[in-house]
Amino acid sequence: MSIRVAVRSILEDLMNRLRDEVVGCAVSTMDGFIISSAALPSISSRLSSEKLSELGEIASKIFHEIEEVEGTKTRSIVIRGSNGYILSIAVDDALLLILTSENPNLGLILDEMRAVGGKLKELLGY
């Protein structure tokens, strides 16, 4: 099984566990290259790889800027939008991005993201 397929399987499992909370998710490299993604059918047409890549690049820049200014590594970023949140955690040299529903359980999602981050770390060999 390729890494891309294995990552997609992890993301689909995450989507199934958080079906009322998460509308899309992706794993990208720090430079915005999408390794794999998953989204609900209702938003998959609006959530192109290009848009996910841009989100990955933005999150990566935020992580790097905070590290440069603060001198410490940032573990997660939470951005609130009008239709939900964009959450991102660093998994060594990769990012896990989550797009949520309008009123998500952020604690539950962040716990799941940490667990998935551990699986991704093993899979990606970081």
Full domain range(s) for residue 75: 3-124
CA 41 to chain centre: 18
- 61: CATH: 3.30.450.30
In whole angstroms, what is the distance from residue 119 CA to residue 124 CA? 9
Residue from 123, 101, 104, 105 nearest 11 by CA: 123
User: In a structure prediction context, what are the per-residue pLDDT tens digits for the chain, which is 126 residues long?
Assistant: 799 999 999 999 999 999 899 998 999 888 878 899 888 876 655 665 667 777 777 888 887 787 888 777 777 888 898 989 989 998 888 999 999 999 999 999 999 999 999 999 999 886
Count of domains observed in the chain: 1
Q: Give the number of residues written for the chain.
A: 126
Residues 98 and 21: their CA atoms lie apart, in Å, by 10
Contact predicate 24/40, CB 8 Å: yes
